[in-house]
Amino acid sequence: MLANLSASRAARESRFTLYEAEIRRRVWWTIMYFDLFLSDIMNQPPLIADNSFNTKRPVANVDEKVFGPLSIRIPPPASGGEDGSGYCKDGMRYFEIRSRLTLLVRSIKRRMNTPEFGHAPQVRTSYYGSSPNSNCYSIDQAASMETEVRAWLNDLPSYYQLDHEAA
């Protein structure tokens, strides 16, 4: 259905209004998110291949109270935002953060599930199949992936960060 709508391809500016193009981006990245995490649950590769789309990520800094079908520009939030960078909780920062998470997880899964990734020969089962000749990842590679995840977590606005002391 989305292929027929060309949602996986960046919208040409003349074909859609600014509002329609942004809504299409949000829908596409929501589908990307669910495709990735449902495929992970089922131990299958994502249905959406990495090279099959060029849709930009949703715009994060949007005043949703003003942005609508008649908008000719993306309105930023009026105030400085809760985190001091112009973002506010009721803006679309969540979509931007979730799309970045989707890209991060796709990247890590892609690296973990390629035979060239590691150097320690073992039998490994992934959604690409079982192979006694495939390689598992090293401690350094796992640490590198952890660093990427921690960087993503540290980049979250304070209102999305976990309270580690309460846990």
Burial 50-60 (b: 16+ CB within 10 A, else e): eeebebebbbb
pLDDT digits 0-9 by tens, 77-100 = 766 555 555 556 656 778 888 999
Across 36-57, average pLDDT? 89
Closest CA to 25 of 68, 64, 55, 47: 55
Q: How far apart are CA 53 and CA 51, in angstroms?
A: 6
User: What was the pLDDT predicted at 135?
Assistant: 53
| pLDDT top residue among 126 and 50 | 50
Local structure of 135: helix, strand or coil = strand
Q: How far apart are CA 123 and CA 131, in angstroms?
A: 6
